[in-house]
Amino acid sequence: MSVTDILSGHFPDGICRNNDRGLDPSITLGIIKRMTKRRFINRTLTTLFIAGIFLLTHPAFSAMNPENTTNLRSIAESIAKPKPLRLKKPKNTFTPVDQKPFFDIPVTYNVQVRKWIKYFQGPGKRGYKKWLERSHRYLPHMQTVLSKRGMPRDLSYIAMIESGFSAHAVSHAAAVGYWQFIKSTANRYGLRTKWWLDERRDFNKSTHAAASYLGDLYNMFGSWYLTASAYNMGENRLKRLIKKYNTKNFWVLSKKRDFPRETRDYIPKMIAAMLIAKAPKLYGFKDLKPKSPHSYEYFYAPGGTDLYVLADHLGIRRKQLKNLNPELVKGFIPSFVQNHKIRIPPGFTLRVSKLIREKKI
């Protein structure tokens, strides 16, 4: 019996009618569903049977063929473990200008910072380039000292904008040396300042003193921006401004009329110097000639030792020995001093000892 017979009302015997008015609708629907399902199953089985015969008999797909079995296995393995794609190398390859820079103090980029970046790239490029080349000599040591105290290494860029890493830098306020200490603050943090000796010019001692001072300032203000600001303008003046305006936000304070102009530029200048120093090629500083870190040994020289006389006996340049000991303002140790620790080039300890025994220096 077909679906057409059912719909046309031709029913074989045994199929119930409903009071001679045709087949009961519920029975009709059930019969149609069963017949449709049976036809679908039969057609599916037939299709699968034909496809199976094709695969078994065709030589390209036959599993009975050992070559095809091997090929099918290798295809399956390649699908399970796909080989990595080999991309063609582009004709023009580019390498990053620098490693990804790391910052351990907050970095703000705004109009003020951009102004100083443009200055260092323009009118101030020659001077900044010297700072950058000199930084390779002093930054590693300064950052190590700061890191050992658990302080941000990037605070070392304060020395860059303060002195350009020069032992002989002197400000209009009589601040001296790498970290630009005024005399009173230097003495407070253990740096000696005498007519023949100024330890503000000693890069090791002054760095330890600066780390102590910066640590104390951070304990006062709780902000590295304010710490650097206080380093520049003095902690007492900054305390008064914070109390007056009831804010510890540097950018808010810097807009006030009585905020020092030099300190207003201090933080943007430091950030700009730091950004360029961490990726100099990106900002156009390419042909740099970095200064090598000082290499030296310590030696306790007696009073009366003259650096120039010592350099002549050792056969080295006077300037080399003077650069290792910039804290000796006059270039010698007074005779009334028992001894003083100086720096000498590596490998000269025995020769210096012999010269001292023979009283040639």
With cut-offs at 50, 70 and 90, classify the pLDDT of residue 93: very low
Shared-domain flag, residues 131 and 206: yes
Q: At what angle do helices 111-121 and 261-278 cross, to 10 degrees?
A: 60
Does residue 268 sit within a domain?
A: yes
Q: What is the mean pLDDT of residues 148-171?
A: 96
Say whether pLDDT at 9 is over 60.
no
User: Is residue 162 annotated as part of the catalytic site, yes or no?
Assistant: yes
Rounded to the nearest 10°, the torsion over CA 9, 10, 11, 17 is: 30
| 126, 247: one domain | yes
Distance of alpha carbon 98 from the chain centroid: 10
pLDDT score of 8 more than 90: no
Among the listed residues 144, 183, 136, 184, the one whose alpha carbon sits nearest the alpha carbon of residue 160: 136
Q: What are the structure tokens assigned to 202, written together?
A: 């000693």
Whether 288 is covered by a domain: the verdict is no
Total tally of structural domains belonging to the chain:
3
Tell whether the model's pLDDT for residue 80 goes beyond 60: no
Tens of pLDDT, residue by residue over 238-292, are 999 999 999 999 999 999 999 999 999 999 999 999 999 999 999 999 999 999 9
For the chain, percent of residues with pLDDT exceeding 90:
69
Banded pLDDT at 35 (limits 50, 70, 90): low
What is the reported pLDDT for 322?
Answer: 96
**Does the pLDDT of residue 32 top 70, yes or no?**
no
Got the DSSP string for 23-35?
B-HHHHHHHHHHH
157: Cα within 13 Å, side-chain hemisphere: 24
Active-site hit among 133, 162, 262, 327: 162
Domain final position from 220, 253, 283: 283
- Return the pLDDT at 361: 74
Q: What is the pLDDT of residue 121?
A: 97
Structural domain range at position 179 = 111-283
> Phi/psi of residue 86, each to 5°?
-105, 100
Among 257, 283, 309, where does a domain finish? 283
pLDDT > 80? residue 20: no
Q: What is d(CA 159, CA 132) in angstroms, rounded to the nearest whole number? A: 12
Rounded Cα gap, residues 358 and 361, in angstroms: 8
In this predicted structure, what is the pLDDT of residue 18?
Answer: 45
Which pLDDT belongs to residue 182? Answer: 96
Q: Assess whether 270 and 122 both reside in one domain.
A: yes
CA distance 289 to 283: 16
Residue 105: the pLDDT is 92
Task: Determine the average pLDDT of the residues in 148-175.
Answer: 96
Indicate if 271 and 307 belong to the same structural domain: no
Query: How far is CA 133 from each of CA 160, 216, 263, 288, 359, rounded to the nearest angstrom?
Result: 11, 30, 25, 6, 40
Question: Does residue 173 belong to any structural domain of this protein?
Answer: yes
Residue 134 lies in a domain: yes
Domain containing 175 — which CATH number?
1.10.530.10
Of 258, 283, 308, the domain-final residue: 283
pLDDT score at 321: 97
Written as one letter, the residue type at 173 is: A
Q: What pLDDT does residue 3 have?
A: 45
135 and 200 share one domain: yes
Question: Domain for residue 87, yes or no?
Answer: no
305 and 205 in one domain? no
Mean pLDDT of the chain: 84
356 contact partners, CB below 8 Å, separation of at least 6:
301, 302, 305
In a domain, 26, yes or no: yes
Residue 145 vs residue 36, higher pLDDT = 145
Question: Are residues 70 and 117 located together in one domain of the fold?
Answer: no
pLDDT at position 58, please? Answer: 55
Residue 360 confidence (pLDDT): 75
Give pLDDT, residue 143.
97
Same structural domain, 351 and 306: yes
Q: How far apart are CA 27 and CA 24, in angstroms?
A: 5
Residues 123 and 180 reside in one and the same domain: yes
Q: Kindly indicate the confidence band of residue 166, based on its pLDDT and cuts at 50, 70 and 90.
A: very high
* Region class of 326: left (phi > 0), else alpha (psi between -120 and 50), else beta: alpha
pLDDT of residue 336 exceeding 80, the answer is yes
Tell me the pLDDT band of 83, cut-offs 50, 70 and 90.
low
- Residue 11 pLDDT class (50, 70, 90 cuts): very low
Total length of the chain: 361
CATH number at 311 reads 3.10.350
**Quick one: pLDDT at residue 359?**
80
Q: Using an 8 Å Cβ cutoff, are 302 and 270 in contact? A: no
Q: Comparing C-alpha atoms, which of 286, 293, 281, 346 is closest to residue 316?
A: 346
Confidence at residue 157, expressed as pLDDT on a 0 to 100 scale: 98
Task: Identify the pLDDT of residue 41.
Answer: 67
Residue 190 in domain: yes
Q: Are residues 53 and 185 in the same domain?
A: no
Q: Cα(216)–Cα(239) distance, rounded to whole angstroms?
A: 14
Structure tokens that stand for 346 in this block: 């590596």
Give residue 171's pLDDT: 94
Do 52 and 189 reside in the same domain of the chain? Answer: no
96 inside domain: no
> Does the pLDDT value for residue 91 go beyond 90?
no
Inform me whether the pLDDT recorded for 27 exceeds 70: no
**Residue 162 or 44, more confident:** 162
pLDDT, position 358: 86
Residues 76, 130 within the same domain: no
The three-class DSSP label of residue 284 is: coil
User: Is the distance from CB of 139 to CB of 190 less than 8 angstroms?
Assistant: no
Q: Please indicate whether residue 260 or residue 12 has the higher confidence score (pLDDT).
A: 260
